[in-house]
Structure 1
């Protein structure tokens, strides 16, 4: 009695690859939170998280870039010590920097959309397009970060802007330049 076996693909290779890349960027996002520098103008430290947000959008696109950063938020909310300074838990998602945290998936999706459109495509676009996408992502991060900081700290939007946004402009310019360098070096390596 001969038996035939058929193999059934339960999950496609593309989905598995996308989930793996999203998990990798979520882990990278958590690791980047440990690279923290005090900001002399603000009680909020400077981290490399925004750089990873940019790279997630650029390399993963609008959907999976946002998914990767959402995975990071879920892990941190559930207790993994992946937020700035190794903090974790729901308290970080409602604290003074919560606006930043909630903005990250939106910013990654926006950067991905402005670089790729609705479908993941070639991220080797013009430098002007890359920088424009990251500036737009930064605007989203600052807008929600300032609003969240103002609400939680019970200060006006003007005071919150100087503490939660203006104090970070030099660091963000460095992160944008670093992201362009990373993308350009990857484009050179791919050729």
Structure 2
């Protein structure tokens, strides 16, 4: 087996692993206040930072496909096309774009810098909020203010911490040479 084949296999394994971790994050829920906080966004950001834009998007595409065909991987153990096009569908599509955006912070052979990670992670977070909030507004026929207050505001501080935690993790993985494609 050539070295390139092993590298490709390593990348595929990491992609599947990150998709599974995003699915697992749907079950890691903290019932803080009226809106439960899940760990899914942490794994979404981590997927992008670890895999890069192409494979990060692929991992989230795999996750969304798994949920669409009936595996209980969406928040609360839900699945199916109805959940994908329901009120939270915008967040799911936003997750895919967020992983793609976070991937741009990764440069080959170098750790993700704090500046790039925070910038791309912040942009990814805004993308999730914009798509998710807009989709929520139209799916439930609510005002922009209500959609913002229900679907975005309660999550801002927690999701900001998740971006930072994902950065800490990817920098740790880089330090010990554990990232895919890293020698």
Q: Which residue of 2 aligns with 1:20?
A: 13
Note if contact 1:41-1:167 (Cα within 8 Å) is conserved in structure 2: no
Provide Cα deviations, 1:84-138, integer angstroms capped at 9, x if missing partner.
111111121011111101111111111102x13xxx6135132111111110100
Q: Could you tell me how far apart the structure 2 residues matched to 1:122 and 1:49 are?
A: 27
Instruction: State the secondary structure of the residue aligned to 1:122.
Output: coil
Instruction: State the TM-score, normalized to the length of structure 1.
Output: 0.84
1:40-189 correspondence to structure 2 within 5 Å: 40=33, 42=35, 45-113=36-104, 115-116=105-106, 121-122=108-109, 124-189=111-176
Note if contact 1:54-1:108 (Cα within 8 Å) is conserved in structure 2: yes
| Higher alpha-carbon Rg | 1
Aligned-CA RMSD value: 2.1
With 48-57 and 13-22 compared, the bigger mean Cα shift is at 13-22
Return 5+ residue gaps in structure 2 as ranges. 179-183
Instruction: State the TM-score, normalized to the length of structure 2.
Output: 0.88
Provide Cα deviations, 1:16-75, integer angstroms capped at 9, x if missing partner.
322221111111111110011335354xx3211111111111110000000001000000
Instruction: State the secondary structure of the residue aligned to 2:31.
Output: strand
Return 5+ residue gaps in structure 1 as ranges. 1-6
Q: Does 1:36 align with 2:29?
A: yes
